Amino acid sequence: MHPTIRMNNGIEIPQVGFGVYQIPASRTTEMVRVALDAGYRHVDTAQVYGNEAEVGTAIAESGLPREDVFITTKLNPQHHGYDSTSKELEESLRKLRTSYVDLYLLHWPSPGKDRYLESWRACEDLFAQGKVRSIGVSNLTVANLAWLAERSATVPAVNQVELHPNFQQDDLLRYHYSHGIITQAWGPLALGNSLSDPTLQGLAEKYRKTPAQLILRWHIQLGNIPLPKSATPSRIRENLAVFDFRIDADDMGRITALDGDPNGAPSRTMGASLPRWQP
């Protein structure tokens, strides 16, 4: 069993999650099975990925006790609203073949709809009912988090955001650290674009690891939860073999210095693919 981190509600979350975004539904059950066999105990899916049912099948068929696998899913922002949030969670639970999820996230803000707070209230109630063991947010900025904090006493357990060596989001991480919010890193490998960076390649050689493993280890030492995605069994296994070495402080600094490197991988968030919500 690999290490876990304790969230602000006392619940432990395994420190590497298997991301299933863009894994076609037809391959998801097989890939989640590979991941569970490799030792992953944390799967990150979402309504919009269209593969919750296949994740559910893999977990149900794995023979693992339900409580041994940490399942995250996310509400499609199209369904923001109090009643629709509860209704859509039921649909996700049915597909995932479980009576609860370990973490339920509001996938991204949808300012046009302006029903974020209603959904958050529904999440608080679903938590009280035991249908979700933790609740969190995704793709929120510092301003968004401060806005939410003024309106709700419930601190999100996590904020799942784009994060990788070329896009380190310092201010956001500082806010997370000081408010007890765990950072989940999506795009932890910058979609594979960071892997050819010469600094990362050199360091990977030094530690006798692959560039992907080096980057994932960097996330872990920062206290982040990376969610690497792969549909290649050898890479799925490779991405979990990151707990048997430690990057020293100087080398952590070298990776930190890559932030915003114009030759590095661009951020997808900064490219405006996601709505920026400025309440």
> What is the binding site for ligand NAD (CB under 6 A)?
19-21, 44, 107-108, 138-139, 160, 186-192, 195, 212, 227-230, 235, 238-239
Angle at 194 between CA 188 and CA 197, to 5 degrees: 150
Measured from the CB atom, is 98 or 139 closer to ligand NAD?
A: 139
| Distance in Å, CB of 194 to ligand NAD, minimum | 8
Q: Helix (H, G, I), strand (E, B), or coil: what is residue 191?
A: helix
DSSP state of 8: T
CB 106 within 8 A of CB 119: yes
Measured from the CB atom, is 33 or 65 closer to ligand NAD?
A: 33
Q: Which of 40, 49, 116, 175 is labelled catalytic?
A: 49
| Distance in Å, CB of 137 to ligand NAD, minimum | 9
Query: Two tokens at 270?
Result: 């900064």
| Distance in Å, CB of 73 to ligand NAD, minimum | 10
Q: Active site includes 49? A: yes
Q: What is the spatial order of strands in the sheet that 103-106 belongs to? A: 18-19, 42-44, 70-75, 103-106, 135-138, 158-162, 182-186, 225-226
> φ and ψ at 273, to 5 degrees?
-70, -25
- Give the DSSP H or E segment for 212: helix 211-222
Measured from the CB atom, is 43 or 122 closer to ligand NAD?
A: 43
- Crossing angle of the two packed helices 249-256 and 211-222, in degrees rounded to 10: 100
| Distance in Å, CB of 246 to ligand NAD, minimum | 19
Measured from the CB atom, is 156 or 187 closer to ligand NAD?
A: 187
Residue nearest to ligand NAD (CB): 19
Residues taking part in catalysis = 49
